[in-house]
Amino acid sequence: MSGYWRPKATTRIEYRQSNSRFYGTIGRASSVDEAKAFVQGVRDEMSDASHHVYAFIIGHGASVTEGMSDDGEPSGTSGPPALAVLRGSDIGDVVLVITRYFGGTKLGTGGLVHAYGQTAREAVSAVELEQKIIRTTAGIEVPYHLFEQVKRLMAEYAADIDDEDFAADVTILFRIPKDNLTAFNEALLELSAGQIKPTILDEG
């Protein structure tokens, strides 16, 4: 299916290692600005913590924007392990903040990589997901005598109507799951004897 999994709601888990407490807060972000606001929200909520390491992936698949920060931890010990876990999860539109409360015992480079990686894995495992379906936006012009039949066809293929304009013909703007588009086009051509063909406005 043309779609991907993303967080449905914000979730927080706790992981402990050598007296240090790590809180993994994971949620959804559809833009870099949303991801930054999410990170700042956790910073504000847990302002007494030692570090707020973060990683995010906006989008999914080949077209993504990624970001991360070690937030004062030794370079490469926290942000990269967290981002690696997100990449491996196949989740999109996701932001993760790992908040550390230092427990008095230095963990060393290997210990930090393990602790941040494990916190990320537990957060990813805990978060509830929902599927984002990629939709194509298109328009069609429908003769009045076919209008009701076309609407039934659109419902059959899970198309959502955004706008209808009643003039000489009825112009319908709609969004349809990308995976349904080819079959819908074929059914539409058959229904209209080849007269109705959607104009693609946004492939999604």
- Does domain 3-131 fall under CATH 3.30.70.20? My reply is no
DSSP state at residue 91? B
Strand, helix or coil at 85?
A: helix
Q: Where are the domains of the chain?
A: 3-131, 135-202
Tens digits of residue pLDDT in 115-143: 999 999 999 999 999 999 989 999 999 99
pLDDT recorded at residue 1: 54
Strand, helix or coil at 84?
A: helix
Tens digits of residue pLDDT in 153-190: 999 999 999 999 999 999 999 999 999 999 999 999 99
- Does domain 135-202 fall under CATH 3.40.190.10? My reply is no
C-beta of residue 170 within 8 angstroms of C-beta of residue 144 = yes
Sign of the Cα torsion 166, 171, 176, 182 reads positive
